[in-house]
Amino acid sequence: MLARAAADFYWMGRYVERAEQTARLLDYQLTRLVDTPAEELARGWSILYDIFGLAPPGLASDADEAEAFLIADAYTLAGAVVEDETRPASLVSCWGQARDNATQLRPWLPVQVWTTLNRGFLWLRDTEFAAAWAVGPATLVCEARDRLRLFGGVVDATMSRDDAWRFMQLGCFVERLQQQAVLLGTWDRSGNVSGGSPSAWWAELLRICDAYDFYCRNRSMVVRRDSALMFLVRNPELPRSLRFAVHQIGELLADIDPQGARYPLAPPHRMALHLAASVEMSPRGGEGRGDDIGDTFSTLLADSLSLHELAMATYVDYPVEEGLPA
């Protein structure tokens, strides 16, 4: 596997996953527009923008951010997350970046994968957000999610399970791990301050993570903070749990250099094992207490950033002397 191509596969996986996360969060917020009080909506936008690391559009330097979300209209706030190419988490930006990576990968990509991604890109590029908003913004986001799911299905059905696929999946799960750590940390910090049911607040988080039904079947319909967070951290069967992502990362890295030809245990793989241990062991004191779980999310995020750096240094940007045949 060409090193640069591996990096492109990795980034393509990251951007597609990031687009999926953006669409999912946007979908959640847009479906609440109809019957949610303005203050709660503003708070929703605030959390969403916080997760994306964005400032609200048109925010003056001395303005109060919370008030800005209250004043700004939903059309502007949603539009910035959908079609603003300058925002790294916007749908247009993610899709465009993923397609840029895919363009570099044409010889390695099944034509169906390229075509599905390209058709999605062309659809989004040619969509007029104003017209789509008039029809109903949720429709646009739903279609984006459908197209991303289709892409995932085509990848699953057509790509060989070789290093190309592994690096793409690695990118996907590293991105998921980071995004989920940020989402859980942000949600936990925001807390339930609206005076509504605490159970409903944490149930919303589970719904955003496509985990609510699964949680109810396994735990209870009454959702508590500690239980919900631990479920989203540790459940091994939930695709959006941190444990699931870390496990996948470890498996993928083990297969990328199965004979240990270059390293007995490659540095990123070592970091993946460390991450797995962190997820297993956290929060300190075990399930039920959850006092330190906020720290856990920031630690996991920092470690996943290190894992990214290590993967690039080990497989892509290594010094020539290290790469020469023995």
Partner 1 sequence: MSDSIRTSLDERFSEEPRAWSAGSGAFAHYDLDSGIYDEMFRPDGWPRESSRLLGAALARASSEDLAALQDGVARRFLHEGITFTVLGRRELSEQIIPIDCVPRVLTAEEWDHIDRGLRQRLTALNLFLADIYNDGRSLRDGIVPEDLVLGCPQYRVEMRGVEVPHGAYVSICGTDVVRTADGFAVLEDNLRVPSGVSYMLACRTAMKQAFPLLYRAHGVREIARYPEHLYSTLASLGSWGSSPRVAVLTPGRYNSAYYEHAFLAGEMGATLCEGRDLVVHDAVLYVRTVSGLKRIDVVYRRIDDDFLDPVTFRADSVLGVPGLFGAYRAGNVVIANAPGTGVADDKAVYAFVPAIIRYFLDEEPILANVETHMCREPEGLAYTLEHIEELVVKEVGGSGGYGMLVGSQASAAERDEFVRRLRADPANYISQPVLPLSRAGCFVDGRLEPRHVDLRPFVLRGRDRIEIAPGGLCRVALRKGGLVVNSSQGGGCKDLWVLREREEPN
Interactions with partner 1, residue window 292-321 (CB under 8 A): 315-316, 318, 320
- Of 253, 298, 255, the closest CA to residue 272 belongs to 253
Considering the rule CB under 8 A, would residue 149 count as an interface residue with partner 1?
no
Cα separation, 7 vs 316, in Å, equals 7
Cα separation, 59 vs 273, in Å, equals 42
Considering the rule CB under 8 A, would residue 4 count as an interface residue with partner 1?
yes
Considering the rule CB under 8 A, would residue 122 count as an interface residue with partner 1?
yes
Based on the number of CB atoms within 10 Å of its own CB, is 49 exposed (0-12), middle (13-18) or buried (19 or more)?
buried
Number of residues engaging partner 1 in binding (CB under 8 A): 32
Binder among 131, 135, 193, 261 for partner 1 (CB under 8 A): 261
Cα separation, 326 vs 322, in Å, equals 10
Q: Residue 161 CB: number of other CB atoms within 10 A? A: 9
Cα separation, 260 vs 233, in Å, equals 30
Binder among 165, 167, 173, 201 for partner 1 (CB under 8 A): 167
Binder among 34, 107, 131, 156 for partner 1 (CB under 8 A): 107
Which of 60, 326 has the CB closer to partner 1? 326
Cα separation, 236 vs 279, in Å, equals 11
Binder among 17, 20, 204, 257 for partner 1 (CB under 8 A): 257
Binder among 53, 58, 115, 130 for partner 1 (CB under 8 A): 115
Considering the rule CB under 8 A, would residue 289 count as an interface residue with partner 1?
no
Considering the rule CB under 8 A, would residue 119 count as an interface residue with partner 1?
yes
User: Are the C-beta atoms of 257 and 311 separated by less than 8 Å?
Assistant: no
Considering the rule CB under 8 A, would residue 6 count as an interface residue with partner 1?
yes
Which of 122, 134 has the CB closer to partner 1? 122
CA 6 to chain centre: 20
Residues that bind partner 1 (CB under 8 A): 1-6, 100, 103-104, 106-108, 111, 114-115, 118-119, 122, 163, 167, 256-257, 261-262, 315-316, 318, 320, 322-325
